[in-house]
Amino acid sequence: MCGIVGYIGRREATPILIQGLKRLEYRGYDSFGIATVGSSIEVFKKQGRISESEAGAVSLAGCIGIGHTRWATHGEPNDINAHPHIDCRGGVAVVHNGVIENFTELKRQLIERGHTFRSDTDTEVIAHLIEEHHHGDLLEAVRATVPHLRGSYALLAVAAHDRRIVAARDCSPLVLGIGDSELFAASDMTPLLDHTERVVFLEDGDIADISADGVEIYHQGEKVQRPVELIDWCVEDARKGGFAHYMLKEIFEQPQAFYETIRAGVDETVRNLVLSADEVTLVACGTSYHTALIFKYLAESLCRIPVRVELASEFKYYTPPISGLAVAVTQSGETADTIAALKMAKAHNCITLAITNVQGSTITRVTDGTLLMRAGPEIGVAATKSYIAQLAALMQLINIRCGGVFDEVLSHAHLAIGEVLMRDIQDAVALCRGAEHIFFVGRGPFYPVSLEGALKMKEISYVHAEGYAAGELKHGPFALLTPVTPVVAICPPGSTYGVMVSNIKEIKARRAPIIALGVDGDSELAEIVDIFIPLPDTHLLVQVLTSSVVLQLLAYRTACALQRDIDRPRNLAKSVTVE
Ligand code: G6P
């Protein structure tokens, strides 16, 4: 939620900041703004999306600047609440990602001391606190300010007449890019890819003093060294590459995301964690929660290991008795609830593992081991290739526990994913685009696949969709079935096939139109449903992947038909760094 970017060097800051904010827009797109530093601070900020604005015409002068793209938490999205925020005299500007939990109290105190507030945001208190502590040295002012802040923050501050940016982080991500006599700061690596591959990940509690010549980092008052790491993403990965939307590009990148994640394998630490676990708890949110549920079905049935899966946002307030291995599944590695849940598991003496797509992300600093997915940067808000790469990572863990019996299956699965990318689903799209409600049903691992299918549909097409375990449909939702309520049923061969066919017939008897996903050549199923979408007749693990991809395409094509904003669905953000 919210993206921040900073630049200091020899070039004009404005175009670099604007380009950086466009790359970060997937983190929030209610408003945007930049500030540059010279003898005074100049600010431009505006409600709306930077990609749809005349931002190219903004020409604030200066080689030092900070920028922000917002996902509103405190204060409605408008020009005034857009960041950067300045102090009373306009001598300090701040951009911030996170939530200052004690801002009401701080604001009251600051107003009592004579400060004038312009916005409704929590962030503005930071600018005024820095103002109070600023006696010519911005670093000292930020150092004196952060102990007053409760909550989460990644912030960048600049001051007039001061040729530096001061950055601080606690529980929100911040990464620095090291260029040639120039430095960058950003919420994640995507804006840095255009300029450098050398990055420094700040730790919670770090304060960085950034100048064009270098950076000095302080932690609890002491100067510290943080390693310079090399990013292995390339700039092309973060571009649309001729596709209409990032989401479509990312759907089409899934064979590679799966293959690369399998190819990268699992290091010895993670292998040992998995082999020694006698029970596993997974914590996750959103799409990642669905991959965790799929893991539960597969791991419990294939490796006979007890697995529990918890919504991270619930887990923090209800901690069941757990032990063994706790796994955080999070593509961004920055989801606040998932990080909090994992810390809770750690406090219960669990050994911890992160499955994430982002090298150096916060979660990797908390856990005992990390299994890095190889999806590359995912820009579309709706998770697609990160979902498939998560499944690749989780299926590898199952394979390890099963002594490698799925080596062959996993090494070829990407081919089947590639095969379904071109499936003709136009009839299914025509049915879904006219619907107000859609049900997705499946059994076993295909139940979480149906949850994910429904999530994809609602988040990008805005059509109300529910995922259900097929057997549960008659415990309530049957009352909603009508001839205009499509039901998407995932019905591959196997132990649940017979009962799924019975369920489909029951649905049919209520005259709801059925779109069924089954294996190629299943004429029995094709005959009883309205629309049949064939999947390659392969291993169960692979059918989990192929059916998921078809449901992503169904959501995507339906959203296109309804002319939705695919990559930036309303009210959503890709990385949810607030609870
Ligand atoms: C947001 C995103 C989802 C994602 C969820 C969890 O809601 O829009 O696509 O599944 O966060 O994110 P994580 O980075 O922890 O997987």
Per the DSSP assignment, residues forming a β-bridge with 151 are 100
Kindly report, residue by residue over 10-22, the tens digit of the pLDDT. 999 999 999 999 9
Active site residue 574: yes
Gap from CA of 258 to ligand 1 centroid (Å): 18
Gap from CA of 381 to ligand 1 centroid (Å): 8
Q: Is the pLDDT of residue 87 over 90?
A: yes
Choosing from 2, 171, 285, 491, the catalytic residue is 2
Q: Mention every residue, 6+ apart, whose C-beta is less than 8 A from residue 301.
A: 444
17-21: list long-range contacts, CB under 8 Å, 24+ apart: 17/65, 17/66, 17/67, 18/50, 18/55, 18/56, 18/58, 18/67, 19/191, 19/194, 20/67, 20/184, 20/186, 20/191, 20/194, 21/50, 21/55, 21/67, 21/68, 21/69, 21/191
H or E segment and range at residue 287 = helix 286-303
577: Cβ below 6 Å to ligand 1?
no
Using CA positions, which residue lies closest to atom 1 of ligand 1?
A: 574
Using CA positions, which residue lies closest to atom 8 of ligand 1?
A: 574
CB 40 within 8 A of CB 160: yes
Closest ligand 1 atom, CA of 335? 15
CA distances in angstroms from 113 to 94, 127, 128, 129, 149, listed in the order given = 20, 14, 10, 11, 17
Helix ranges (DSSP H) in 367-437: 385-401, 407-420, 426-433
More confident residue, 395 or 571: 395
H or E segment and range at residue 170 = strand 165-170
Which letter does DSSP use for residue 223 in this model?
E
Structure tokens that stand for 166 in this block: 């001061």
336: Cβ below 6 Å to ligand 1?
no
Helix, strand or coil, per DSSP, at residue 459: helix
Backbone phi and psi for residue 531, each to the nearest 5 degrees, phi listed first: -135, 130
Gap from CA of 485 to ligand 1 centroid (Å): 28
The pLDDT-based confidence of 50 (bands split at 50, 70, 90) is confident
Q: What is the CA radius of gyration of the chain?
A: 25
Domains 3-236 and 240-420 share a fold: no
pLDDT averaged over the chain?
Answer: 94
The pLDDT-based confidence of 572 (bands split at 50, 70, 90) is confident
Query: How many other CB atoms are found less than 10 A from the CB of residue 3?
Result: 33
335: Cβ below 6 Å to ligand 1?
yes
Closest ligand 1 atom, CA of 382? 9
390: Cβ below 6 Å to ligand 1?
no
The size of the chain, in residues, is: 579
Q: Is the pLDDT of residue 212 over 80?
A: yes
Choosing from 45, 249, 296, 574, the catalytic residue is 574
| Of the candidates 237, 238, 227, the residue with the CA atom closest to the CA atom of residue 176 | 227
pLDDT at 26: 81
Kindly report, residue by residue over 438-493, the tens digit of the pLDDT. 999 999 999 999 999 999 999 999 999 999 999 998 899 889 999 999 999 999 99
Q: For a substitution probing ligand 1, which of 287, 390, 459 has the most ligand atoms within 8 Å of its CB?
A: 287
pLDDT at 557: 97
Where is average pLDDT lowest: 24-38, 169-183, 484-498?
Answer: 24-38
CB 292 within 8 A of CB 309: yes
pLDDT at 576: 78
Domain limits, the chain: 3-236, 240-420, 423-562
CA distances in angstroms from 558 to 290, 532, 564, listed in the order given = 21, 17, 9
Angle between helices 385-401 and 286-303 (to 10 degrees): 20
Structure tokens that stand for 487 in this block: 């039901």
Gap from CA of 215 to ligand 1 centroid (Å): 32
Closest ligand 1 atom, CA of 333? 14
Using CA positions, which residue lies closest to atom 16 of ligand 1?
A: 330
Q: What is the spatial distance between Cα 185 and Cα 209, in angstroms, rounded to a whole number? A: 11
pLDDT at 512: 96
Q: Residue 201 burial by CB count (10 A; 0-12/13-18/19+): exposed, middle or buried?
A: buried
Query: Across 231-324, where does the E strand assignment appear?
Result: 280-284, 307-311
Active site residue 2: yes
The pLDDT-based confidence of 82 (bands split at 50, 70, 90) is very high
Q: For a substitution probing ligand 1, which of 294, 459, 576 has the most ligand atoms within 8 Å of its CB?
A: 576
Antiparallel, parallel or unpaired: β 214-219 and 222-224: antiparallel
| Mean pLDDT confidence for 163-181 | 95
Kindly report, residue by residue over 252-282, the tens digit of the pLDDT. 999 999 999 999 999 999 999 999 999 999 9
572: Cβ below 6 Å to ligand 1?
yes
The pLDDT-based confidence of 178 (bands split at 50, 70, 90) is very high
Kindly report, residue by residue over 549-565, the tens digit of the pLDDT. 999 999 999 999 999 99
Spacing of C-alpha 561 from chain mean position: 25
Q: For a substitution probing ligand 1, which of 187, 285, 452 has the most ligand atoms within 8 Å of its CB?
A: 285
Q: Under CATH, which number does the domain 423-562 receive?
A: 3.40.50.10490
Gap from CA of 311 to ligand 1 centroid (Å): 12
pLDDT at 234: 78
| Mean pLDDT confidence for 13-40 | 91
Where is average pLDDT lowest: 54-68, 104-118, 291-305?
Answer: 54-68
pLDDT at 241: 76
Angle between helices 385-401 and 407-420 (to 10 degrees): 160
Q: Which CATH number fits domain 3-236: 3.60.20.10, 3.30.365.10, 3.10.310.10, 3.40.50.720?
A: 3.60.20.10
Kindly report, residue by residue over 375-397, the tens digit of the pLDDT. 999 999 999 999 999 999 999 99
Q: What is the residue type of 380?
A: G
Greatest mean pLDDT among 171-175, 344-348, 464-468: 464-468
Architecture of the domain whose range is 240-420:
3-Layer(aba) Sandwich (3.40)
pTM of the predicted structure, to 2 decimals: 0.84
